[in-house]
Amino acid sequence: MKYAYYDTDDPIVALATPWGESALAVIRVSGTASVDMAAPCFSRPDRLLKGDSHTIHYMNFIDPADNMPIDEVTVAIYRAPHGFTGQDSLEIFCHGSLVSIKKILETLKSVGFRDARPGEFTLRAFTQGKLDLTQAEAVQEIVSAKSRQAHSLALHRLSGGLFSHIDMIKRDLLLILSRIELQLDYAEDEVVLDEEIDEISLHKAIRALGELAATYRTGKIFSQGVKIALAGPTNAGKSSLFNLFLKEDRSIVSDIHGTTRDYIESWISIKGIPVRLYDTAGFRASVDVIEEEGIRRSIQLLEDSDLVIYMIGTEDISSLMEEHPEYIYIWNKSDIREGNAPEGSLPLCSLTGEGFSDIEKEIISRLEITNIDNSGEHEIMIDSLRQKELLDRGVISLDSAVEAIESGMPLDVVAPDIQDCIDALGEITGEITSADILDTIFSGFCVGK
């Protein structure tokens, strides 16, 4: 089967582990007759040719041109339709020497394997019925997860949680549609459709799809993370707060103004949410061209951030708070400053960490994340824009169907709207999809996945 630049029958090879020196590396091959093709590259080819699926064998990987050993390896055999791809495939565990890895790949390509393209192994798993499309997308989501919660949510989708939820809704809609089609086909036999029950079921489906679509924002935050910038004048305590978040002395802290001339960044996790945190250059008038450039970049960064935490200095910020009520304002050095924290700001002692937990709570509140403590392995969320758009399409179609029923329209007008929703759900799971969509999804995967 061909999908643009993919041919799912070709024998393919790829390094499945990162390119670099390591204790071990894994090289995968898959495709029609791939075990037979690879057998001459091993010192004991009969073991591969006669080996059962899901068995592991120890031998040398050799160059079939001169029978010289390249590395000592173990190789796992998977026979079709078993294994990840559903095709004949091998996983070769070799030493993580760049020389060995390169030579093994070159040798396998010399006997007829080609380089796998991004996501090609997972695409084959999908085309062979080993995964539905939501599970296939979850494979890459697991690889790119930036927090434990993001990993847990993706793992739940990989286990089929999202597919099962969508499939249950689709089955209910298919039952409604079958009743409608039955009445349309056999109207003269007095087959009566209970329209009240159908409307209740349709409203239930609309609510279920709408609730699932509404998880997209939270799911996207968990999977992709958010950008938070620390801003404010020089010597206001941005770097101290940055270090509090990181729980390490990453950013230089000094009483000297202008210590941070350019922004620095780091990934952290706040209540399971991946956060890309930026410590920016302090704002002040400066004749230093380097510091001025750092301030310019910091201002641009604030505009691109999802949330800004502003550290209050000695300046009057009343106009700033009116102009940017979306900022979180921090009254740092609360243990030594005179007076109370301005209204609308949070006090903090970065030296002791007092007040820090309130800042984390405020961040969660501003991001509008609900039920964060329950966002565990059994939570059903989506983080794919493709899936959200199809869910929205399904809701619109069912709304149209309900409106037609309530307006007294004939059932042959109602049926196409319900069918369109069923088709949209089928596109989410991959039962109905196009080659272009598959290419777009899988081309974003890692090579070797």
Q: What is the CATH number of domain 138-215+382-430?
A: 1.20.120.430
B/e letters for 173-212, b = 16+ CB within 10 Å, e = fewer, are beebbebbeebeeeeeeeeebeeeebeebbeebbebbeeb
Top pLDDT among 390 and 294 is at: 390
Sign of CA dihedral 432, 438, 441, 445: positive
Q: How far apart are CA 104 and CA 19, in angstroms?
A: 13
SS3 6: strand
What is the tens place of the pLDDT at every residue in 229-288? Answer: 998 887 778 888 998 998 865 544 444 344 444 578 889 888 888 999 998 876 544 445
Q: How far apart are CA 77 and CA 49, in angstroms?
A: 10
Cα end-to-end span (Å), the chain: 19
Q: How far apart are CA 225 and CA 267, in angstroms?
A: 9
The pLDDT, as a whole number, for residue 193 is: 47
SS3 348: strand
Lowest mean pLDDT among 108-112, 251-255, 288-292: 251-255
What's the token pair of residue 259? 């210590």
Answer yes or no: is pLDDT of 191 > 80. Answer: no
Eight-state DSSP code of residue 55: E
User: Are 4 and 436 in contact, with CB atoms under 8 Å apart?
Assistant: yes
What is the tens place of the pLDDT at every residue in 301-341? Answer: 888 899 999 988 888 888 889 999 999 999 988 877 777 88
Sign of CA dihedral 81, 87, 92, 97: negative
The pLDDT, as a whole number, for residue 5 is: 47
The pLDDT, as a whole number, for residue 372 is: 53
Q: What is the CATH number of domain 2-131?
A: 3.30.1360.120
Model pTM score: 0.78
Mean pLDDT of 90-115: 95
Residue closest to 114 by CA, chosen among 28, 13, 15, 16? 13
What is the tens place of the pLDDT at every residue in 361-420? Answer: 999 999 887 655 544 445 788 988 999 999 999 999 999 999 998 888 888 888 899 999
Eight-state DSSP code of residue 52: P
Residue 311's DSSP bridge partners are 330
Q: Residue written as tokens 């801003």?
A: 231
What is the tens place of the pLDDT at every residue in 132-145? Answer: 888 988 888 888 88
Length of the chain (residues): 449
What's the token pair of residue 185? 């086909």
Q: How far apart are CA 258 and CA 356, in angstroms?
A: 24
Residues in CB range of 390: below 8 A, 6 or more apart: 424, 425, 427, 428
227 Ramachandran zone, left/alpha/beta (phi>0; psi -120 to 50): beta
User: Are 104 and 70 in contact, with CB atoms under 8 Å apart?
Assistant: yes
Residues in CB range of 74: below 8 A, 6 or more apart: 56, 57, 58, 92, 93
CA 415 to chain centre: 35
The pLDDT, as a whole number, for residue 428 is: 92
What is the tens place of the pLDDT at every residue in 141-159? Answer: 888 888 788 888 888 888 8
Percent of the chain past pLDDT 70, that is, above it, reads 84
Q: Residue written as tokens 């091959």?
A: 29
SS3 307: strand
What's the token pair of residue 177? 């549609």
User: Are 370 and 404 in contact, with CB atoms under 8 Å apart?
Assistant: no
SS3 430: coil
Q: Residue written as tokens 């080996």?
A: 51
Please give the CATH topology (third level) of the domain spanning 223-374. Answer: Rossmann fold (3.40.50)
Percent of the chain past pLDDT 90, that is, above it, reads 44
Mean pLDDT of 95-124: 93
Residue 45, preceding peptide bond in cis (omega within 30° of 0): no
Where are the domains positioned within the chain?
Answer: 2-131, 138-215+382-430, 223-374
DSSP class per residue in 86-98: SSSEEEEEEEE-H
Q: How far apart are CA 91 and CA 67, in angstroms?
A: 21
